[in-house]
Chains A and B, each alone.
Chain A
């Protein structure tokens, strides 16, 4: 930088009193000296940053003149800051870089793990060919169809999910696998895969659980005996008449609500966690509460009625409810096998090889072209009704004395049979249960039929020719036109059974006492008179 020439615009600004033209200055010598002093002062390097004011001003003015922003005087401080910042960037480059990289870097590392898996794959590929059925779902294809409907995740995320599925398949013995959807949570979201494990793999777990249950029962019997002994010694405490409702057994793995096994992960790249099978009690409770998911599977679910389990169980219960309520397919795609009779117990269905897909326009117009292919959940919490009275006989070991057992008549609950048309789904108030649309009216040859559920906002299904798919994106709650009212706590139990010895009676009032006394005296007087009379007779 040379000293500013008079014709440069920056010249006179160093010294506010002076005009840019030197011709008018009367005393050049003193002024020149003053100017030089001022300039030397400006050129003084700051000890902290290594800049000097002179250069800084020059940079600011250059920037202003280059950009020519409006209302410069208002933002001059910000411009100054920016220029300084720009200076610093070059100096502390190395430090800056190291600091910024970690967060994105870590995430990228995890995703990288998804991409690298080429070495171990070759062995598995041969197995897959033998299987015949493609185990890996084509997530990208599904995403493409849903994109036409305006639903879906970004392409990047879909691809990551795709790769994560590939990992899952290699790790777990999986027969079929499907991308179920994504549930949003407060801190983190859940990506959910619906999976059918190969047979033989599930039995080990059932055995483990059976053993645990047996061990618990033995413990209970042992405790029951101890309690009996204690109670004989102490005077009888009032026994509670509360009997917990008999526990409804959960459905076996592979049937009903537990037909599929679900794996979740928070983000693609993180390890997949298997969700535990769902029990009817959990489903019944989940119907009564409405809670957000936090994103951590071990978080407790604090609610009333108290939910039996933590967030993993609540998530599984909601998934079961959503699947039962919204998984549909074009009518006729699945059919019952011809050998079995059509009962409510029909659980299996097969693909219909003779299925001819109805045209898209028809699928959109009438809801009768869609059918549920998952069993609905009964009030009990299971798909197949079971009589709880049978079970309670086994638990009588815990009852020491005979008490009055209230026999509840359990009515057999019936639900819709398996392949019901969705036109029979009831709407709420005047809102139909499903809304059907075609993806586009402009190109009818390639449009697909899209179904949105109004009962579970976020559940979508599409169909195009032979292809169809269901998916869920949302918070995981059912739609309720009125607000959610939590259950009221049940009335408090009476402390003591009502017996004459315990209940209080009001003390007799004065009049009553007097009347009683008078009555007694009369009776006495009569008795005495009688005695006197008898005595007189003697």
Chain B
């Protein structure tokens, strides 16, 4: 809450995610604030009432759902940082030494860190090039709309920074040729739905 008191958030459920999409506007800063869904979307409120719950949504739930959505949508990792074993489980690659400078500038060397949705749609030619141990995730290249990532080299080319335009405030950094990478989100917690107009 304020860097001193930390509260544990429960994992998000599908229901929370669906509701969170309806609620728009800024977060209030108070985890127990309740959004009245009746104003926002009468249908969703009606559904809730039928299920026997109140038509309100707590800010805590909205926060959890937003975090989950951000992670799913724009949580990215560099190619090769994680490997998949033949058994199917995914491990961190301890021998990942970082991308090279040339690779780091290309969008295709970064993957979404979620269940791949588009892998099977690639052409056979592309599939032949893939290395199944490292290329088991969706690449950023095929994100719709195109150009929804901004990739920049900072500090004289020593750090590559990717910023998401869909969730304004998500920043991913990587130092080429080293193992350092990571992403952080600073922002208002709102999806940028105007993206197609802004490109």
Q: How far is the CB of B132 from chain A (nearest CB, A)?
A: 14
* Contact B194–A104 (Cβ < 8 Å): no
Is A82 in the interface zone, CB < 8 Å from B?
Answer: yes
Contact of A431 among B26, B95, B165 (CB under 8 A): B26
Whether B26 contacts A291 by the Cβ 8 Å rule is no
Known contacts A429-B25, A481-B24; decide if A292 and B152 are in contact (CB<8 Å).
no
Q: A186-B150, A431-B26, A475-B168 are in contact. Are A103 and B198 (CB under 8 A)?
A: no
Given A107-B157, A156-B155, A291-B197, A187-B25 contact (CB < 8 Å) = no
With a cutoff of 8 Å between Cβ atoms, the chain A residues found around residue B163 in the complex are 184
**Are A290 and B194 in touch, CB under 8 angstroms?**
yes
Q: Which residues does chain B contribute within 8 Å of A185, judged by CB atoms?
A: 150
**Complex contact B156–A103 (CB within 8 A):** yes
Verify if A58 is at the interface (C-beta below 8 Å from B). no
Contact partner of B198 (CB less than 8 A), chosen from A78, A292, A482, is A292
Interface size range on A against B? 35 or more
The interface bits of chain B over 149-173 (1 if a CB of A lies within 8 angstroms of the residue's CB, else 0) are 0101101111000010100100000
Selected contact of A108 from candidates B94, B156, B199, CB within 8 Å: B156
Q: Which of B156, B163, B188 has the most CB of A within 10 A?
A: B156
* Contact among B26, B147, B187, B194 for A186, CB-based, below 8 A: B147
Q: Does A332 contact B (CB under 8 A)?
A: no
The smallest beta-carbon distance between A47 and chain B, in angstroms, is 28
Instruction: Note all chain B residues with C-beta closer than 8 A to A104.
Output: 156-158
Residues of A within 8 A of B26 (CB): 431, 454, 481
Cα–Cα distance between A484 and B192 once the two chains are bound (Å): 10
Least CB distance, B96 to chain A, in whole angstroms: 10
B101 at the interface (CB under 8 A from A): yes
Given A108-B156, A292-B199, A482-B24; A82-B101 close (CB under 8 Å): no
Give A residues with C-beta under 8 Å from B.
69, 74-75, 78-79, 82, 103-104, 106-108, 111, 156, 184-189, 289-292, 429, 431, 454, 457, 475, 477, 479-484, 486
Apart from A103-B153, A475-B168, list 19 A-B contacts with CB within 8 A. A78-B95, A79-B95, A82-B95, A103-B101, A103-B157, A106-B156, A107-B155, A184-B150, A187-B152, A291-B197, A291-B198, A291-B199, A292-B198, A292-B199, A429-B25, A480-B194, A482-B24, A483-B193, A484-B194
Q: Chain B: residues with CB nearer than 8 A to chain A? A: 24-26, 85, 94-95, 101, 147, 150, 152-153, 155-158, 163, 165, 168, 187-188, 193-194, 197-199
